[in-house]
Amino acid sequence: MKAAVLSFPGSNCDQDLLWALSDIAGIPADLVPASATDLSGYDLVCVPGGFSYGDYLRSGAIANFAPVMAALKKHAANGGLVLGICNGFQILCEAGLLPGALQFNESLNFICESEPLTVVNTNTAFSGDYQPDETIHLPIAHGEGNYYADPETLAAIEAKQQVVFRYAANPNGSLNDIAGLTNAAGNVLGMMPHPERAVETLLGGRDGLAMFTALKKQMEGAAYATRRA
């Protein structure tokens, strides 16, 4: 059981995510640079928040061409777990690992606050320790978190129950209040809110911890080991 936290030039949440995984949840984790070309040996690969490559062109666009992305796509195709948070969500969409795109917030302002979310799908490796329809509070900090997909894609996402988290009070204009969703296979999750910033009471709440405990159980479980064999 081991996790990788990718680090791009401009990432600023990689250490936070590494700490949440290893020090809080007890998941052994390594910091892996964007120049890496091999992710074998990792069960979970995390793409953290920040401003990869300065958000030039658009958020996540340049990161898609980093050497590590070929290995990340191979990892996901082989059924490996992938978690993208904030800029990580944007990168996963740019890479085609998740449907849709993240646009500028409807207000055109950067938003940094705690937001209530509804957990709408607990049947994933990432959300199994939450309760159905549970309300949780996680921090957001983004200028381009407005989720968009064309009508056909959005209908398919909803039909396949890929949405995991919805905003209770939509702060950025995301379609269908989408705050986080998986790919069709369910092994890749992208979300704009930051669970790694909500794993200790000292930080203002522990509502993000259940994501990491669920992932730990998934990686330890026989079902996951069999699927990855």
**DSSP track, 156-221:** HHHHTT-EEEEESS-SS--GGGEEEEE-TTSSEEEESS-GGGSSBGGGTB-TTHHHHHHHHHHHHS
Report residue 53: phi and psi, to 5°.
55, 35
Which of the residues are catalytic?
86, 194, 196
3-class DSSP state for residue 135? strand
Contact yes or no for 144/59 (Cβ under 8 A): yes
Classify residue 86 as left (phi > 0), alpha (psi -120 to 50) or beta.
left
Residues 28-59 as b/e (b if ≥16 CB within 10 A, e otherwise) read ebeebebebeebeebbbbbbbbbbbbebeeeb
Nearest to 191 by CA among 120, 134, 108, 129: 120
Please tell me what DSSP assigns to residue 34.
T
What's the CA gap between 115 and 188, in Å, rounded?
A: 22
Pull the structure tokens for residue 118: 């509804």
- Tokens found for residue 95: 């890479």
Give residue 53's Cα distance to chain centre: 19
